[in-house]
A and B are shown apart, each in its own frame.
Chain A
């Protein structure tokens, strides 16, 4: 499959629908799994890594699942394609550019299910869904895990559970991340207070691209830290409770914004759309910040002529690798900023003409 065929589509996680989608962008669950009798990826020889790839590919191809997972070899992909898959959240930055040797990823046509092979762990199973959907994502990944386990001997320990290269993942190997859009908590300066409370209860807050990334465009990922000593249901239940509380705060803050400064917000949204539609140079960061304002405007019903999915589309298509694929050739930083501005202008004009 040519990766370019994915370009016009939105991955499942960006559909912009799903439960609580006014403030929850997407839900992701990943499971770390390793094959018994092989060293972990970091200590495996290339021959051993090729073996784990071959075994994983076979298990994925024959797994009893209602969808097909297509495997892509990562070392064979050009750097731009790897970055493209990172932007679509199908592979990690580590699999794209940090780890070496035989490795790859298998994913379905919906881009909802993926299996990374030979990242830090032999297998990193992932399910992505739009909106707040922890239970559904768990049901999907549990079934995928069962189907792979039927064909692969997992490294499992009676005391420690699923064994992982890093002891911070041992036990369930489960990391659930919920991506939230919290612009009103940011505007009313309450966001730090919320995050300090989260850290006390052992939940991590990260930016869009995971560990170490800054939060742009009011997007935050909340995820569990503890993987050992609690059942999967308990881990997911704890995250769920916390997210529901944060959502309540965000919605309260939105109500206050509407009540106390509706006019000012309306102006901010109009200016954001104006800048997006008329700039001739624009960075990815500024684009995300402005799209965040537009997204809030949509959910506050300050504008009704831009659909939420269009914002998601602009959000993904203006990222570096997507932009270069759209243009059809590599671009340096300055050229990217110009191409991004041009793309935004064209798309917003199309949206404008279709609504008249």
Chain B
């Protein structure tokens, strides 16, 4: 694959998802550097606003700029600033978020500490699903749910408070 701006082979590949539409950008090292995607100095962190800007520039902009119903931030404003406006943005812009998180963290799901309140709520919902699974005689699913509840309970004992 060659760079979308010149003839050299593309070494930087970006994918973004907006409104269910996939957008791609392929650049060579030099063009990526020129557009500020790769910092010249030390520090491996991608420049988030440059990355978001380029993903937008690679294809014609989507006609409607979706906004968060809670804080009113538009996806365009997020792209320009690289900062979200409120916690609800993570759901409002979820479709675009997964490819971004994949690029920044090489992961899309949390695997660390869970606050006690969230742990209790999750265990409650899992217990409900366990009862349903048992009632429906889905024993494999029930065993899986039971293990997850036990893991949550073990975590609760490990971190008091």
Which A residues are closer than 8 A to B by beta carbons? 34, 36-40, 42-43, 120, 142-143, 145-147, 149-150, 153-168, 170-172, 174, 195, 199-200, 202-206, 225-232, 234-235
Contact = CB atoms under 8 A, between A and B. Distances in A.
Contacts of B84: 40, 163-167
A161 B112 contact: yes
For the residues of B in contact with A, the DSSP-based class is: loop
Contacts of B113: 142, 145, 162, 172, 231-232
B144 to A, nearest CB: 17
Interface bracket on B: 35 or more
A40 B72 CA distance: 12
Q: Most chain-A Cβ atoms within 10 A of its Cβ — which of B42, B108, B110, B160?
A: B110
Q: Most chain-B Cβ atoms within 10 A of its Cβ — which of A199, A228, A232?
A: A228
Given A165-B84, A166-B82, A154 B112 contact: no
Contact of B90 (A37, A39, A163, A226): A163
A171 B110 contact: yes
Contact of B86 (A40, A147, A231): A40
Interface string B38-62: 0000111100100000000000000
Which 3 A-B residue pairings sit nearest by Cβ, starting from the closest? A229-B107, A161-B110, A146-B161
Contacts of B117: 149, 153, 156
15 contacts: A40-B87, A42-B83, A149-B115, A153-B117, A162-B110, A167-B48, A167-B84, A168-B45, A170-B105, A174-B112, A204-B43, A225-B104, A228-B108, A229-B106, A231-B111
B76 interface: no
Q: Most chain-B Cβ atoms within 10 A of its Cβ — which of A161, A164, A235?
A: A161
Contacts of B87: 34, 36-37, 40, 155, 157, 163
B90 A157 contact: yes
Contact of A228 (B73, B83, B109, B114): B109
A158 B110 CA distance: 8
Contacts of A202: 44
Interface string B61-84: 000000000010100000001111
Given A163-B87, A171-B107, 10 more contacts: A40-B85, A143-B161, A156-B114, A156-B117, A157-B110, A168-B105, A171-B105, A172-B113, A229-B111, A234-B111
B29 interface: no
Contacts of A42: 81, 83, 85
B101 interface: yes
Nearest to A220: B42
Nearest to B98: A159
Contacts of B114: 156, 161
Contacts of B149: none
B97 interface: yes
A167 B100 contact: yes
A200 B160 CA distance: 37
B83 A120 contact: yes
Given A166-B48, A170-B101, A227-B105, A39 B111 contact: no
Given A158-B118, A160-B90, A199-B42, A228 B107 contact: yes
Contacts of B107: 171, 226, 228-230
Contact of B161 (A147, A155, A159, A200): A147
B109 to A, nearest CB: 5
B115 to A, nearest CB: 5
Nearest to B125: A158
B116 interface: yes
B103 to A, nearest CB: 10
Contact of A38 (B42, B86, B118): B86
